[in-house]
Chains A and B, each alone.
Chain A
Amino acid sequence: MTNQKCKGARDLLPKDTEVFRYIEDVFRKSCLSWGYQEVRTPTLEYLHLFTAAGTLTPNMLSKVYSFLDWDGWSGERVVLRPDGTIPVARLYIENLPQQAIARLFYVTNVFAFEETGNENRERWQCGAELIGSNKPTSDVELILLAIETLRNLGANDVQIQLSHAGVLKALLDELKLNPDEEVRLLDQILDGNWQVLTKAKPTNSEIGRLISLFLDLRGKTSGFLENLKALPQIPVNVKSALNNFAEIANLLDALGCNYQIDVTSTRGFEYYTGLCFQFSTKGEKIGSGGRYDNLITLIGGKDTPACGFALYVDPLVTLTQPQIKRNTEQGILIRCDRATPDSIRTSFQLAEALRQAGYVTELDFSGRQWDRRWIVVVPEKQSPFTIIDQTRNQKKEASSIADAIKMVGGST
């Protein structure tokens, strides 16, 4: 067999899809119970939605799937959705602007080119966005919702890493670079190259020391942030961002939620303005999120604070053991070896009745399938049906449809 699947694409087989659906169901249930409402956005969006400064980095944009639509003679390009949050922000601006607080969630695929083709170029996310609130309690709400979902999925050893884009951007400002240099530096940091910041920092100044303390150490409680705040000569913008960070950390401490403060943990956070968080388990990243207070204005809406997160379905599929009772082997197969109009009709009627009674029922007219617990053989003429219980190796006869249902039902 030649492989005809696109490089970097992935098939979900029945077993994977079962796990996928399970993850989706657990996530939906959590979100609905926290008052979030589900939305779907189109797979195609205009490229310019994502090029507005402060949305995606040039490096990320160089990996989008963009093309001209069939009416794209004006040169306006469309993309396969490269990100889950920005389209939801657009949906909010266009449809729900009067809603003071919008709690929205979605399960969606996002597309990004990956060179080797060994990683997925189409990835699935379970995302939630809380639009309209600038309160630290909203950041906390999202972290708790994500953790609850992960816990319900059976992941009990989730690590949370916290960072803060506001603190980082304030520190960058203090370096007083020219706008060109600052953009270049930020781009590199966003792509995960933190060393550039260490190199750029002035060696013998307060700000250089602060960057070192912030970058090189990992904090475990809000105490770490309080220590930083207590340092002398903290610039005012850095201080207010640190206050926000500490406030959230304090709330998490009070709720008994463990975390690690690691400023270098987040990447690709260009649109984030405040807290950034990341979830991982067994060394694998399984989700991330943060606050993006400027995004909605950047893409043409009015000033609206917001935050959100996404869980990565692809790694979760391999990590999750679904708690589903598998009843496919328990199912019923209706066999009709001599297919006449009468026997076919009877077979479909019997199947319908069994389905209505709550049983998974398959039909086989080819005589090739035997792999179910119950086999109901429909004769050429009207009843009786032969009912075979393959587990107990028993054979019985049923004179009517009702009789057959009773026999199958009675022994499960």
Chain B
Amino acid sequence: MPTPSKWSEARRNLLTEIKSDYVNIALPKGRLLPATTCLLKETELEFKDYTQGTRVYRLKSTKLPHLSAKIFQEKDIPIQVAVGNYDLGICSLDWIEELLAKYPTSALLKVADLEYGKGNLYLAASRYGNISSLQDLSTGQYSWRIVTEYPNLAEIAALNLRLRRFKIFPVWGAAEAYPPENADLAVLWAKDESEIKAQSLIPLKTLLSSNAFLIANRESWQTKDVSQIIAYFSQGLEMKTKPWLKIKPELTKSSNNFRPDFSQEKVWLALPDGHQQPPTSELLNKAELELQGYAEDSLERRPRFKLDWINAKVIRPQDMPLQVANGNFDLAITGKDWLLDHLCRFPSSPVTELANLGFGEVKVVAVVSQNLPAANIEQLKQIQDDRLSPLRVASEYINTADKYLRDNHVSHYKLIPTWGASEAFLPEDADLLIENTQTGKTLAKHNLKIMDTLFQSTACLIGNKTSLESPSKKERIASLIEIFRRAAKGNYDENS
């Protein structure tokens, strides 16, 4: 049995390490990484292993022994700095403003404009739709559908535009692919207007110009001496030549050129991008459903099926259950994990699983640090009871995590939504993680252990119950389900 004293001791050791004049900085993955690496290198504030595709999350400064860094998804950085887990952070202004839009009193300071990563947040409509200017939005009783990765900024924009009625669909990505059929407007980031136009969109309004910023936690700024680190950045900003400004981020661009098709009888199918793309492609081959534009290296957001009664669109698997629920798609290929997460949030949703596709098998598990003396949720609860602070739970599956904690009668907890790379959060920034894993190897490598398995997940075909009843489509949908079932059958046979 874990004893409270053991826990407090572990906790105290951790805290002493974090406190003192240790400075923690949160550094971005992804788009801003190459230029950030270059800036740090030029100013001689280098971190070992801060490179594209690195598998390490915790970095040590090569110069300053009291400075360490952790790599996060850019979106997580403002919140991590605001709650005080990190003293400093680097991320794009759009994510900072997205947090401040909802939580204006966040303890966040914008310390310096780092000038790179320039771009804008746009409100845009499809050039194939019937919106070409802001004036078109002020008419009628219509409820405008806005799709975005920035729901807070989108809501403020909608309020300021005095849209009489609007709905916001937060998405994990691929916002550009939704208008005009699945959304009227998108709020999205792009380098410039030409990039927006290249996606067959019309920029209606620039909501925000954004660069990379150095940010600080207010409390840290008031109590700690971080001047040494700031001086490195200042030195960089005062340099005559700034090579990091010239670095072009490598973007995996997908193309979105098409003529939309509004016909009601077609069957709308959502296909996944990312990890699930190759096995989905393989399954489609096996099912002899020929299509063009769904290759990994040249991804089109609207690949074309040879069967011309199928309309396909490529979006993030996380977003599919909600998109199927509101009728934007009849069918979608996603993970069971995302379907269950959606059903935890919307128990009466019309989305249902139609076929198990067999691939993409993962377990959704509850994970804690190896150093934590808890082997199961009951023991974790006992430890929790001795603490005054709430259990910090990080997860991409925020609704699944919420249900798991409710079902296990965990009384006092805080949910920290993450956008991937959640294993980096333990143990400093969260106590418990609800995460998917294939083999458990990555978790073990990060000194984490699986405490509980919530469920098994595989890729599946999901559908909207109402579409299944639709007189104009139900036969086609039924035949497509049958094709997928037959093709997938091979998958389990191989597996078993």
Identify which of A20-28, A66-74, A79-87, A232-240 touches chain B.
Answer: A66-74
Would you give the shortest CB distance from A54 to chain B, in whole angstroms? 9
Contacting residues, chain B, for A76 (C-beta < 8 A): 143, 167
Chain A residues in the interface with B (C-beta under 8 A): 48, 51-53, 58, 61-62, 68, 70-77, 115, 183, 300
Chain B residues in the interface with A (C-beta under 8 A): 104-105, 141, 143, 145, 156, 158-160, 162-169, 322, 325-326, 342, 345-349
Please report the C-alpha to C-alpha distance between residue A156 and residue B277 in the assembled complex, in whole angstroms: 75
CB within 8 Å for A75 and B168 given contacts A51-B159, A58-B159, A62-B156: yes
Please report the C-alpha to C-alpha distance between residue A222 and residue B325 in the assembled complex, in whole angstroms: 60
CB distance B348 to A70 under 8 Å? yes
Contacting residues, chain A, for B105 (C-beta < 8 A): 115
Contacting residues, chain A, for B160 (C-beta < 8 A): 58
Please report the C-alpha to C-alpha distance between residue A61 and residue B165 in the assembled complex, in whole angstroms: 13
Contacting residues, chain A, for B345 (C-beta < 8 A): 68, 70
Contacting residues, chain A, for B349 (C-beta < 8 A): 71, 73
B168 closest partner in A (C-beta): A75
CB distance B346 to A70 under 8 Å? yes
CB within 8 Å for A51 and B167 given contacts A62-B156, A115-B104: no
Contacting residues, chain A, for B166 (C-beta < 8 A): 48, 51
Q: Which 8 A-B pairs have the closest CB atoms?
A: A75-B167, A73-B325, A48-B165, A58-B159, A53-B162, A52-B164, A73-B346, A74-B326
Would you give the shortest CB distance from A95 to chain B, in whole angstroms? 20
A48 closest partner in B (C-beta): B165
Please report the C-alpha to C-alpha distance between residue A270 and residue B348 in the assembled complex, in whole angstroms: 37
CB within 8 Å for A52 and B165 given contacts A62-B159, A115-B104, A115-B105: yes
Please report the C-alpha to C-alpha distance between residue A48 and residue B163 in the assembled complex, in whole angstroms: 9
Contacting residues, chain B, for A71 (C-beta < 8 A): 346, 348-349
Please report the C-alpha to C-alpha distance between residue A77 and residue B325 in the assembled complex, in whole angstroms: 16
Q: How many A-B residue pairs have CB under 8 A?
A: 53
B101 closest partner in A (C-beta): A62
CB distance B145 to A75 under 8 Å? yes
CB within 8 Å for A51 and B145 given contacts A73-B349, A74-B326: no
CB distance A51 to B165 under 8 Å? yes
B165 closest partner in A (C-beta): A48
Would you give the shortest CB distance from A366 to chain B, in whole angstroms? 30
20 pairs of residues in contact across A and B, judged by CB atoms under 8 Å: A48-B164, A51-B162, A51-B164, A51-B166, A58-B156, A58-B159, A58-B162, A62-B159, A70-B346, A70-B347, A71-B349, A73-B322, A73-B326, A74-B167, A75-B145, A76-B143, A76-B167, A77-B167, A115-B105, A183-B162
Please report the C-alpha to C-alpha distance between residue A293 and residue B440 in the assembled complex, in whole angstroms: 65
Would you give the shortest CB distance from B352 to chain A, in whole angstroms? 13
B325 closest partner in A (C-beta): A73
Would you give the shortest CB distance from B279 to chain A, in whole angstroms? 27
Contacting residues, chain A, for B164 (C-beta < 8 A): 48, 51-53
A48-B165, A71-B348, A74-B167 provided; 9 other pairs, C-beta below 8 A? A48-B166, A51-B163, A58-B159, A70-B346, A71-B349, A74-B325, A77-B167, A77-B168, A300-B141
Contacting residues, chain B, for A58 (C-beta < 8 A): 156, 159-160, 162
Please report the C-alpha to C-alpha distance between residue A48 and residue B169 in the assembled complex, in whole angstroms: 15
Would you give the shortest CB distance from A11 to chain B, in whole angstroms? 21
B147 closest partner in A (C-beta): A75
CB distance B169 to A75 under 8 Å? yes
Would you give the shortest CB distance from B136 to chain A, in whole angstroms? 14
Contacting residues, chain B, for A52 (C-beta < 8 A): 164-165
Please report the C-alpha to C-alpha distance between residue A245 and residue B399 in the assembled complex, in whole angstroms: 55
Contacting residues, chain B, for A74 (C-beta < 8 A): 167, 325-326
